[in-house]
Amino acid sequence: MRRTSFLSLVLAAVLCGTLWMTPAGSRELPSFVDLVAQNGPSVVNISSKQAPEMGPGPDLMVPELPQDSPLQDFFRHFFGEEGELPDDTLQSRSLGSGFILSADGDVLTNAHVVEGAEEIVVRTSDGRELLATVVGKDQRSDIALLKVAAEGLPAVRIGSSTELKVGEWVLAIGSPFGFESSATAGIVSAMGRSLPSESYVSFIQTDVAINPGNSGGPLFNLAGEVIGVNSQIYSRTGGFMGLSFAIPIDVAMDVVNQLRSKGRVSRGWLGVLIQDVTRELAEGFGMPQAVGALVAQTLPGSPAEAAHLQAGDIIVSFNGREILSSSALPPMVGTAPVGERATLQIIRGGQTLTIVVEIGELPEEDALAGSESEPPLATPANRFALAVRELTPQQREQLGLTASEGVLVERVHPGPAERSGLRAGDIILMVDHQPVADVAQFDRIIEAIPSGRSVAVLVQRDAGRMFHAIRVP
């Protein structure tokens, strides 16, 4: 009797525990049913037609056949009368996604979805196909604003990405591989993610399944607000591998508002070429931590030059916002209003300074030119295990250097310079915070460096400049 009562109590406890745990567990996993039902009609499928690229390809020869050969019709079908492609193959279609911003027909998508399009068709969830025109697009942020002739369209609710937290649930709706109105969910994996090919967008990283065709579609929070525009994935196979990236909606809407008002996008500009501060460079600059954006070059006529920023300065904050890596600086500068003053905190020569700079407007194209030519004989290899020689006046003029700037790396031997990434053809402009005017000065500088110490070496290569850390043996 006692045994039965004990088993009954254990069973009752297990059941009660299960019942108690189930509601709590279910609250941790949200339902997306209502969110999809309410916002699905605001998401559109976008197809575009482009003229195919008729670049170099394999040589396709149409054989010469007798006029009465039964194969004549076969080759005419595929190659036309004179070997040209028939008219119905002159255009290809690409698929993407987008979402409705306004009831009167504003549609947002990625710029790459409509790149080179001769015709853009927006297909709504109720089956309508509407021809769209491009109001404007911005390649740097990969945002395009389209317009369709329609009224009463269901528009999305725009949220804000500034308060988004890592771990929040998010939902994507789009047309992966052309499968319209597909919904996928996940969480925010990281914020402020920088990609190598993108300088002016700090992406939202998620683990939401995104595939080709999702580009340009919305990313929703649980409140049903758009907080991002799905744009890119990281993949080694071409398909989803757990890493997807969305443009923050605040960035996208800033672009949209500028495209609406003036048809183009203006961004803030400092006019500096920057790089990360590595552990070795931090040691060379006497910094306890590898943080900030290291200025490798200030461009002529730029706001940075006017504010007297110098190569070797390390920008550690912009308008009070800390800069942990160089990739954090361009989005901050890009969103700064043109013409306004910004406060930079920099480290120069081991001292912390404050510099005020007036933000300029980012030019459409920045081009620097380099050149090559045969200079005089090189010096023997030195402590860096490289041979350098003087630049000719013609080379200095072509490279935009003064008569007292730089030496040319002629040969790099196995050793410290090779390990740091220097190579023949580089121009050494500065060593250990000291400008290099000629070969004799270069030799004096490196001979005076204590053994075992890392020093920062400023190098010009092609159109850009970069610091390398070299440890003196």
Helices then strands, counting H and E runs in the chain, come out as 10, 27
Q: What is the CATH number of the domain that holds 137?
A: 2.40.10.10
The enclosing domain of 466 has a CATH number of: 2.30.42.10
pLDDT value of position 297: 86
Residue 24 lies in a domain: no
The contacts of residue 431 (CB under 8 Å, 6+ apart) are 442, 445, 446, 455, 456, 457, 458
Using DSSP, state whether 123 is helix, strand or coil: strand
Contact 247, 198 (CB under 8 A): no
Q: Determine, yes or no, domain membership for 354.
A: yes
Pairing of strands 119-123, 351-358: unpaired
User: Looking at beta carbons, which pairs linking 33-36 to residues 24 or more positions away fall under 8 Å?
Assistant: 35/171, 35/220, 35/222, 35/224, 36/171, 36/173, 36/183
pLDDT, tens digit only, all 473 positions of the chain: 444 455 554 445 444 444 444 444 445 788 999 999 999 999 999 998 766 554 444 334 444 555 555 444 544 444 444 444 444 544 556 689 999 999 999 999 999 999 888 899 999 999 899 999 999 999 989 999 999 999 999 999 999 998 899 999 999 999 998 888 899 999 999 998 887 666 788 899 999 999 989 999 999 999 999 999 999 888 777 778 889 999 999 999 999 999 999 888 999 999 998 888 888 888 888 888 899 999 988 888 899 999 999 989 999 999 999 998 888 898 899 889 999 999 999 999 889 999 999 999 988 754 333 333 333 444 455 788 888 888 888 788 778 888 788 898 888 888 888 888 888 889 999 998 888 988 888 888 888 888 888 888 999 887 788 898 888 87
Let me know: does 247 contact 142? Beta carbons within 8 Å: yes
Do 406 and 442 belong to one domain? yes
- Is residue 182, in this structure, part of any structural domain at all? yes
200 and 272, same domain (yes or no):
no
Residue 180 placed within a domain: yes
Domain final position from 148, 174, 197 = 148
In a domain, 101, yes or no: yes
Half-sphere exposure of 43 (CA within 13 A, CB side): 32
Contact 189, 144 (CB under 8 A): no
Q: Which residues contact 260 (CB under 8 A, 6 or more apart)?
A: 106, 135, 136, 145
Domain count of the fold of the chain = 4
Nearest residue to 353 (alpha-carbon basis) of 307, 421, 411: 307
Q: Which two tokens stand for residue 210?
A: 């995104």
User: Hey, which residues are catalytic here?
Assistant: 112, 142, 215
Provide the whole-model pTM. 0.67
Range of the domain at 120: 39-51+72-148
Instruction: Mark whether 346 and 399 lie in a shared domain.
Output: no
113/125 Cα distance (integer angstroms): 19
**Residue 67 forms part of a structural domain:** no
| DSSP β-bridge partners for residue 220 | 171, 226
Spatial distance between the Cα atoms of 216 and 112, rounded to a whole number of angstroms: 9
The per-residue DSSP string of 251-314 comes to HHHHHHHHHHHHSS---EE--EEEEE--HHHHHHTT-SS--SEEEEEE-TTSHHHHTT--TT-E
Torsion of CA 276, 281, 282, 285, to 10 degrees: -120
Looking at the structure, tell me whether residues 394 and 461 fall in a common domain.
yes
